Amino acid sequence: MVRPTGAQELSEGDPHVVALENARRKHAAASADASAVDGEHILAVDTLVALDGAIYGKPRNADEARATLRVLAGRTHEVISGIVLDDRATIAVTAVTFREIDDALMDWYVATEEWRGRAGGYAIQGRGAALVRAIDGDYLNVVGLPVAALLDLMDSRAFSPE
């Protein structure tokens, strides 16, 4: 079950620390929710985009999306996810290199409105793939849930047939 928590998120600071702290805040809020079921596993994830120590969140409008994509164009940024599962926590980091983005590609992508609600203003699993030259790390982290890191946090007994 998905439970939005409304937890107050950080937007400034060391991106690795911010991603993990935001996940911890979401986890704490979900754990405190009166509708939480005893014994239920609680997973909280926060994913952000960072370049040169600056965090690029979800653009509020097309102009912000365009500005963010211009900064990322032709450069390698990090997609950082903080993950908290019950009493365990970790981060996942994937390097994403964007191609140069000319005006035609920028206009096309911004017009898709796919940037809405996306950290860094793009969705690699959609049309945003056209902006990407290469990735180094977990593709699923860029999509939004770093499955490899999550599996590392899980108890191997979770895969038992019993």
The alpha carbons of the chain give a radius of gyration, in whole angstroms, of 17
**Sign, Cα dihedral of 115, 26, 36, 88:** positive
Contact 83, 149 (CB under 8 A): yes
- 8-state DSSP, 37: P
Residue type, 162: E
**Positions marked active-site:** 46
Tokens 């390097």 belong to which residue? 95
Neighbours of 147 (CB within 10 A): 13
Name every residue whose Cβ is closer than 8 Å to that of residue 45 and which is 6 or more positions away in sequence.
23, 26, 81, 82, 83, 84, 144, 145, 146
